[in-house]
C-alpha cells in the first residue's frame, strides 16, 4: 500500500510539474483545436516520406474527379501515390489523410448532383473509395454550384442539390468504421454564397475551406493583392488606376446586379459569420504561390496600377524566394491595410502579389483570435524546401504560439 501511495504522489507531482512548465509529454499538433490543412499534389521530387507532416493536422490529396458519375482518379497511378501517403500515418498517428474531388475546371458535379439516383451512385463510389484507401475524409471542390465557371456545367437547381449532396455524403461517410472529416472548398467572394444554402450545408460538414486567394486574377487590368488578409475598402484604392477602372464599369456592373467590393480574408469571414456560419467551421486560405504583372509603372510602388498583362500566371513560393526575393532589383513592400506583402521591380516594371512568412503567420494568428476552425493552403509542393518555410511559420504560430 505504501508503494502504491508513493507512485500516486509521484504521478501527481509529474503532472503538476508538466502543468507548471507547460510541458505535454505526448504533445502532437492535433492537440490544438485549430487545424492546419495542406492541399497536396503528388510530385516525383517530393515524396510522402519527405513531407513535413508533423506540422499538419490534415493533408488533402488532390484530385479525384467526377467521372461517369463516380469519384475516380483520372490517372490510375495516383492510387499508389495515395497509398504511400496514407502509409505515413504509421509515423504520424494523428494526421488525417483526406481526398479532394474536383478543382478548378473540373466538370460533372451539376449532372451528378441533379437526381437522387445520380447522387446515390456518387456517394456509393465515395464510400468504396475511402474504404479502399483507408482515408480520414473528403473535400468537395465544386467550383461552383450554379455558376458555370471555366465552362463547367451549371444549373439553378445546383443550389438545392449541393445541400442534398453534402447531406447524403455525410450520411454515407458516417457508415465507415474510420471517423470521416467532410469539408468543401468555398469561394472568397460574396456572390458564391447566393448560390448555396450555406446554413443548411454547414449542418452536414466539419469545415468550409474558404479559398481566400485568387482574389484578383492575372488578367486584371490593374494590379492588386490576390490573397490579402486585411479589410480593404474602396476608399483605400481611391485616386488610383484601379479606382478609375472600377468607376468606369460601375453602370455595367449595376445592370448585372453586381457591386464591386474589395476582397480579403477579413471581409469574407465577417460576411460569413454575419450570415450565420459558426466561426469554428470556417477555415481560411493562404496561397503558397504568387501572381505577377508586367508593364507596371512605379507610382505607389506598382500597387493598384495599370499593367500590360500577366508576367507569370502563377509561381510557387519556392520560385519567388529563389528568383525574386533574392533579386536586388526587387523590393519587398508591406501594405498595412491589406496586411499583405508585395514585390516590385522598377527596373523590370514587374509587380508580384503573394504570401510570405509574415503574412501567413498573421493569418494564422487571426484564425486563432477569431476562434475560427483554422487555416489551409494551396498547395504544399509550392513551399520552399529550405528553412523558414511558409508552413513552418503557420506551425509556429498555431502550435508553438510563437
Its sign, for the CA torsion 29, 31, 36, 37, is positive
Q: Which residue, 191, 353, 181, is CA-closest to 283? A: 181
| SS3 of residue 268 by DSSP | helix
How far apart (Å, rounded) are the C-alpha atoms in residues 384 and 390?
7
Task: Read off the C-alpha cell for 352.
Answer: 508580384
What is the Cα gyration radius of the chain? 23
Is beta strand 96-102 parallel, antiparallel or unpaired with respect to 70-72? unpaired
Residues 215, 219, 221: CA angle, nearest 5 degrees: 95
Query: Is 177 in the active site?
Result: no
Sheet of strand 309-316, all strands in order from the earlier edge strand to the far edge: 309-316, 289-294, 350-353, 340-345, 331-335
Which strand (E) or helix (H) includes residue 384? none
57: Cβ–Cβ under 8 A, 6 or more apart, which residues?
29, 30, 32, 35, 36, 37, 94, 95, 96, 374
E-assigned strand segments in 256-373: 282-287, 289-294, 309-316, 331-335, 340-345, 350-353
Tell which residue, 267, 179, 191, has the closest CA to residue 230. 267
Distance CA 383, CA 276 (A): 34
Show the cell assigned to 254.
449595376
Interhelix angle 78-86/116-133, nearest 10 degrees: 60
Which one from 70, 143, 266, 306 is the annotated catalytic residue? 143
Q: Which residues are catalytic?
A: 143
Amino acid at each position: 500500500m505504501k508503494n502504491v501511495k508513493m507512485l500516486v504522489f509521484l504521478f501527481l507531482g509529474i503532472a503538476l510539474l508538466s502543468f507548471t512548465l507547460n510541458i505535454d509529454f505526448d504533445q502532437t499538433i492535433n492537440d490544438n483545436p485549430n487545424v492546419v490543412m495542406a492541399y497536396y499534389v503528388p510530385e516525383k521530387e517530393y515524396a510522402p516520406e519527405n513531407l513535413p507532416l508533423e506540422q499538419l493536422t490534415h493533408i488533402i490529396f488532390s484530385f479525384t474527379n467526377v467521372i461517369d458519375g463516380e469519384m475516380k482518379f483520372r490517372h490510375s497511378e495516383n492510387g499508389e501515390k495515395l497509398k504511400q501517403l496514407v502509409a505515413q500515418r504509421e509515423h504520424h498517428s494523428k494526421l488525417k489523410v483526406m481526398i479532394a474531388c474536383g478543382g478548378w475546371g473540373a466538370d460533372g458535379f451539376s449532372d451528378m448532383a441533379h437526381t437522387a439516383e445520380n447522387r446515390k451512385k456518387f456517394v456509393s463510389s465515395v464510400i468504396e473509395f475511402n474504404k479502399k484507401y483507408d482515408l480520414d475524409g473528403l473535400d468537395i471542390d465544386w467550383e461552383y454550384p450554379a455558376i458555370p465557371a471555366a465552362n463547367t456545367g451549371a444549373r439553378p437547381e445546383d443550389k438545392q442539390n449541393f445541400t442534398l449532396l453534402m447531406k447524403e455524403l455525410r450520411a454515407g461517410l458516417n457508415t465507415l468504421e474510420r471517423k470521416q472529416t467532410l469539408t468543401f472548398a468555398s469561394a472568397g467572394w460574396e456572390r458564391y454564397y447566393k448560390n448555396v444554402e450555406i446554413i443548411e450545408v454547414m449542418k452536414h460538414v466539419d469545415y468550409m475551406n474558404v479559398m481566400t486567394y485568387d482574389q484578383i486574377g492575372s488578367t486584371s487590368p490593374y494590379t492588386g493583392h490576390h490573397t490579402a488578409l486585411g479589410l480593404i475598402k474602396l476608399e483605400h484604392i481611391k485616386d488610383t488606376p484601379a479606382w478609375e477602372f472600377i468607376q468606369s464599369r460601375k453602370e455595367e456592373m449595376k445592370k448585372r446586379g453586381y457591386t464591386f467590393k474589395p476582397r480579403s480574408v477579413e471581409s469574407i469571414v465577417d460576411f460569413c459569420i454575419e450570415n450565420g456560419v459558426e466561426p469554428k467551421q470556417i477555415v481560411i486560405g493562404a496561397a503558397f504561390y504568387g501572381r505577377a504583372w508586367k508593364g507596371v509603372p512605379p507610382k505607389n510602388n506598382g500597387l493598384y496600377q495599370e499593367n500590360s498583362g500577366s508576367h507569370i500566371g502563377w509561381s510557387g513560393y519556392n520560385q519567388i524566394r529563389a528568383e525574386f526575393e533574392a533579386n536586388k532589383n526587387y523590393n519587398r513592400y508591406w501594405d498595412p491595410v491589406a496586411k499583405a506583402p508585395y514585390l516590385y521591380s522598377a527596373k523590370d516594371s514587374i509587380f508580384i502579389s503573394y504570401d510570405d512568412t509574415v503574412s501567413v503567420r498573421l493569418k494564422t494568428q487571426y484564425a486563432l483570435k477569431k476562434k475560427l476552425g483554422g487555416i489551409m493552403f494551396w498547395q504544399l509542393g509550392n513551399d520552399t524546401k529550405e528553412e523558414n518555410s511558409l508552413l513552418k511559420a503557420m506551425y509556429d504560430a498555431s502550435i508553438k504560439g510563437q
